[in-house]
């Protein structure tokens, strides 16, 4: 069997800060002399296709794609073979052999090693007795003021189609136009319809937009956020308005 000449480790972590991601990437790199990359299948950073492109451009011809999770998502594990085959079929240039590794956390040995390491390091565990109970922070009782609630899909399929770039481009366009304060932007998991990604849902308008590039993002910000008007050619779905919105006690009528 041919040995890989590069390794991509794929993780699924929606809430991973940049510092921790750098630490994980460094650990992956230190584990082997082969060229390595850490890829988040959801969230921010270069998507799997971009990393494959980069390694292929560097001359790598047999690339091992290794899922990493405790356990790794079954739905993502089922999705990965097809998306890898798609990349291989669509690419131009010398052929690249792709190998998809198994879920390493399925075997009892990995779990046993983690539990044993936790028990042996119990002296370093932090006691909770001195901590003050808390489920939130002051000021989290109500949302901040906003006119547009923008939901940016960063699920794995939209991520592969450029959702991390969408999130960054949206933030930059809102800041440049002075409209960031009018929006409450949230990232989400899969919104559907995945084949239309990268997707953004705008409420209370009830309009879902496909924003494939910065030009589309800039139009969305200028027209939808700035002028409160739709951009019809970018809309992929509309949510029907409620005939009757019930009054919430305590809210002004």
Please count the CA atoms within 13 angstroms of the CA of 221 that sit on its side-chain side: 24
Arithmetic mean of pLDDT, 147-153: 96
Token duo for residue 126: 């932090």
**Alpha-carbon distance 251 to 124, whole Å?**
49
**Quick check: 36 and 28 in contact, CB under 8 A?**
yes
Residues in the chain: 253
Query: How many Å apart are CA 197 and CA 159, to the nearest integer?
Result: 8
Where does the chain hold its CATH 3.40.30.10 domain(s)?
148-238
Mean pLDDT within 111-138? 90
What would the mean pLDDT of 108-130 be, rounded to a whole number? 90
CA distances from 250 to 141, 143, 167, 245, 253 (A): 14, 16, 35, 15, 9
| pLDDT score at 46 | 87
Question: Is the model more confident about 222 or about 45?
Answer: 222
Fold designation for 148-238: Glutaredoxin (3.40.30)
Average pLDDT over residues 20-32: 94
CATH architecture for the domain at 6-107: 3-Layer(aba) Sandwich (3.40)
Kindly state the percentage of the chain with pLDDT values over 70. 94
Furthest CA-CA distance within the chain: 71
Distance CA 220, CA 239 (A): 18
Residues of the chain within CATH 3.40.50.1400 domain(s) are: 6-107
What are the tens digits of pLDDT across the range 204-231? 999 999 999 999 999 999 999 999 999 9
Q: Positive or negative CA dihedral for 189, 190, 191, 194?
A: positive
Instruction: Summarize pLDDT for 182-199 with one digit per residue, the tens.
Output: 999 999 988 889 999 999
- Averaged pLDDT, 129-152: 89
Query: Confidence class of residue 251 from pLDDT cuts 50, 70 and 90?
Result: low
């Amino acid at each position: 069997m041919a040995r890989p000449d590069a390794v991509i480790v794929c993780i699924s972590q929606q809430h991973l800060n940049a510092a921790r991601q750098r630490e994980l990437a460094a650990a992956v790199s230190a584990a082997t002399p082969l060229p390595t990359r850490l890829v988040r299948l959801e969230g921010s950073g270069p998507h799997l296709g971009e990393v494959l492109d980069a390694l292929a451009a560097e001359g790598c011809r047999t690339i091992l794609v290794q899922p990493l999770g405790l356990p790794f998502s079954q739905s993502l594990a089922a999705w990965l073979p097809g998306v890898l085959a798609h990349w291989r079929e669509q690419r131009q240039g010398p052929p690249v052999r792709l190998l998809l590794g198994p879920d390493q956390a399925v075997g009892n040995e990995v779990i046993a090693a983690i539990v044993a390491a936790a028990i042996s390091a119990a002296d370093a565990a932090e006691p909770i007795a001195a901590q003050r109970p808390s489920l939130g922070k002051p000021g989290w009782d109500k949302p901040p003021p906003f006119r547009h609630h923008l939901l940016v899909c960063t699920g794995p399929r939209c991520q592969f189609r450029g959702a991390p770039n969408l999130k960054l481009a949206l933030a930059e366009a809102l800041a440049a136009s002075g409209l960031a304060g009018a929006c409450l932007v949230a990232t989400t998991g899969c919104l559907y319809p995945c084949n239309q990604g990268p997707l953004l849902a705008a409420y209370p308008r009830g309009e879902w937009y496909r924003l494939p590039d910065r030009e589309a993002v800039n139009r969305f910000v200028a027209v939808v956020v700035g002028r409160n008007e739709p951009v019809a050619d970018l809309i992929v779905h509309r949510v029907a308005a409620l005939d009757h919105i019930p009054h919430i006690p305590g809210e002004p009528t």
